[in-house]
């Protein structure tokens, strides 16, 4: 079986809640599927296939009064569950329009973030709730939005860039983070964790200024399929949670969203300069991915070498095992084993 580029039967990050206003529709492409998002009268998020079943026009190009969507081509109307409620041109009023339905995706709004479940089979979406990721903060708390960028690459290259420790030295050089002149040998312990792996809790490296300003702290980082990196930092009694979510748009583009949460009160007073630094960090990655796109155009032979690239190899094996479990309808078996990795950065 060939390995899928884009995994199904998983939850993908859509957007921070602040981007989806009540009474407005928003069309997005996620995992190669065109989807329209909106909020119903109660403010609850819904997600439908972004095609009118009549002639295929995107429903996101039509009208929405807060209750129903209307196609801009022939005026067909649908409620927020995707059920057709009216076909204006139909003279036969006995025709049951409710038999016509636009596919409705499972969607969740948690901690001011919106997620969507992309099923492999749209007739079999049971079990979606069981695979929703742990966002590491209480349900009543909210994430702050940092940045969103479109990476000009597929999900695999985007993920490998996200979890690759060796690029940090060269892509993210800065006075406030770390310098290529202060390289140190790192030793990190890893373990399997749910649909991925984790770098077990440890004291941050002394040559990382971004951590040192926090004082005495510890961090645990985990990566989860399909492409999410979660970092939980403990600073005394306080917590910082930083999440980077990679969502494939299609086979050529991947959207990166970064969200942030902290119980440290000072963070909220310093939010705008902190957000600026976070955006700068992300745009450094975006810059190197634009260069990567130019390099990949010639279809060079690529390689993964040694312990610095071990996480990338784990990612590919995790994808393979997830594909097998979904195709064979068997429980997912995490292939990662506990291991200590070393690299210089």
Residue 335 lies in a domain: yes
Of 49-53, 129-133, 170-174, 313-317, the poorest mean pLDDT is in 170-174
Residue 4 lies in a domain: no
Q: What is the pLDDT of residues 291-303, one digit of tens each?
A: 989 999 999 999 9
Residue 138 scores a pLDDT above 50: yes
Q: What's the residue count for the chain?
A: 345
For range 306-331, the mean pLDDT: 94
- Indicate the residue among 131, 165, 196 that finishes a domain: 131
pLDDT of residue 208: 58
- Please tell me the distance from the alpha carbon of residue 45 to that of residue 110, in angstroms, as a whole number: 11
**Does one domain contain both 306 and 226?**
yes
**Does one domain contain both 29 and 152?**
no
Considering only CA atoms, which of 95, 64, 92 is closest in space to residue 79? 64
- Please tell me the distance from the alpha carbon of residue 38 to that of residue 46, in angstroms, as a whole number: 6
Cβ neighbour number for residue 72 with a 10 Å cutoff: 14
The enclosing H or E element of 289 equals helix 271-296
**Does one domain contain both 124 and 190?**
no
For range 89-105, the mean pLDDT: 93
- Please tell me the distance from the alpha carbon of residue 231 to that of residue 152, in angstroms, as a whole number: 25
pLDDT of residue 332: 95
**Does one domain contain both 112 and 225?**
no
Q: Does the bond joining 129 to the residue before it have cis omega, within 30 degrees of 0?
A: no
User: In the numeric block, which tokens belong to residue 92?
Assistant: 């036969």
Considering only CA atoms, which of 31, 40, 36 is closest in space to residue 13? 31
Provide the number of structural domains found in the chain: 2
**Does one domain contain both 119 and 150?**
no
The enclosing H or E element of 108 equals strand 107-110
Residue 31 lies in a domain: yes
**Does one domain contain both 123 and 221?**
no
**Does one domain contain both 151 and 241?**
yes
**Does one domain contain both 40 and 152?**
no
Residue 104 lies in a domain: yes
Q: What is the pLDDT of residues 320-332, one digit of tens each?
A: 999 999 999 999 9
Contact 207, 184 (CB under 8 A): yes
For range 229-256, the mean pLDDT: 95
With bands split at pLDDT 50, 70 and 90, how would you rate the model's confidence at 1?
A: very low
**Does one domain contain both 126 and 148?**
no
Name residue, tokens 């801009």.
72
| CATH number reported for the structural domain that contains residue 195 in this entry | 3.90.380.10
Higher per-residue pLDDT: 173 or 209: 173
Cβ neighbour number for residue 27 with a 10 Å cutoff: 14
DSSP annotation string for 137-202: S-TT--PEEEEEEEESS-HHHHHHHHH-STTHHHHS-BTTTB-TTS--EEEEEEEEETTEEEEEEE
User: In the numeric block, which tokens belong to residue 139?
Assistant: 């349900």
**Does one domain contain both 236 and 206?**
yes
Residue 103 lies in a domain: yes
- Indicate the residue among 131, 164, 195 that finishes a domain: 131
| CATH number reported for the structural domain that contains residue 88 in this entry | 2.102.10.10
With bands split at pLDDT 50, 70 and 90, how would you rate the model's confidence at 166?
A: confident
144: β partners: 260
**Does one domain contain both 154 and 266?**
yes
Domain containing 253 equals 144-344
Of 112-116, 223-227, 266-270, the poorest mean pLDDT is in 266-270
**Does one domain contain both 327 and 191?**
yes
Residue 198 scores a pLDDT above 70: yes
């Amino acid at each position: 079986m060939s390995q899928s580029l884009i995994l199904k039967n998983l939850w993908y990050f859509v957007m921070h809640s602040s981007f989806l206003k009540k009474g407005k529709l928003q069309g997005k492409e996620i995992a190669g599927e065109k989807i329209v998002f909106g909020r119903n009268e109660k403010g609850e998020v819904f997600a439908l296939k972004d095609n009118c079943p009549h002639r295929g026009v995107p429903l996101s190009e039509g009208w929405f009064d807060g209750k129903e969507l209307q196609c801009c081509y022939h005026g067909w109307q649908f409620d927020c569950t995707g059920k057709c409620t009216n076909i204006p041109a139909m003279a036969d009023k006995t025709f049951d329009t409710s038999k016509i339905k636009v596919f409705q995706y499972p969607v969740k709004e948690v901690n001011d973030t919106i997620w969507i479940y992309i099923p492999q089979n749209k007739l079999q979406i049971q079990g979606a709730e069981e695979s929703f990721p742990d966002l590491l903060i209480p349900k009543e708390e909210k994430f702050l939005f940092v940045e969103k960028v479109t990476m000009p690459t597929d999900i695999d290259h985007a993920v490998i860039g996200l979890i690759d420790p060796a690029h940090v030295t060269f892509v993210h050089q800065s006075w406030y983070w770390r310098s290529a002149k202060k390289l140190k040998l790192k030793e990190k312990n890893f373990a399997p964790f749910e649909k991925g792996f984790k770098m077990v809790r440890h004291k941050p490296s002394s040559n990382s200024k971004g951590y040192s300003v926090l004082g005495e702290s510890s961090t645990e980082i985990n990566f989860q399929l399909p492409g999410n990196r979660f970092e939980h930092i403990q600073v005394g009694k306080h917590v910082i949670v930083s999440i980077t979510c990679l969502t494939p748009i299609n086979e050529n583009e991947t959207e990166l969203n970064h969200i942030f949460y902290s119980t440290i009160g000072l963070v909220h007073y310093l939010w705008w300069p902190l957000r600026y630094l976070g955006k700068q960090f992300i745009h450094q990655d975006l810059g190197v991915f634009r260069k990567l796109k130019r390099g990949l155009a010639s279809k060079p032979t690529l390689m993964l070498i040694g312990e610095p690239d071990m996480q990338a190899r784990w990612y590919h094996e995790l994808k393979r095992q997830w594909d097998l479990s979904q195709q064979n309808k068997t429980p997912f078996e995490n292939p990662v084993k506990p291991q200590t990795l070393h690299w210089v950065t």
